[in-house]
Amino acid sequence: MNRDEMKGKAEKAKGFVKDKTGELINDPELEAEGEMERASGAVREGFGKAKRKVKEGIEEIADEIDDE
């Protein structure tokens, strides 16, 4: 797991807390803010996963070249 994946997960968790708190105290603004943070965190986590997979693919190709 890379930094973007970790930060994305943390942002999603923070957004979840805000979203649910907004629901509990009937604060639509806080709820919306939480939903936005959750979405932003999901995007960042997805970017981190993609970045990791590209890096793993490049390393795999480099290993295959070294084996030849």
pLDDT tens column, 15-66: 999 999 999 999 999 999 999 999 999 999 999 999 999 999 999 999 888 8
Residue 68 has pLDDT above 80, yes or no: no
Both ends of the chain: CA-CA distance in Å? 30
Domain boundaries, the chain: 3-67
Q: What is the pLDDT of residues 2-27, one digit of tens each?
A: 999 999 999 999 999 999 999 999 99
Task: Report pTM.
Answer: 0.84
Is the CB of residue 37 less than 8 Å from the CB of residue 12? yes
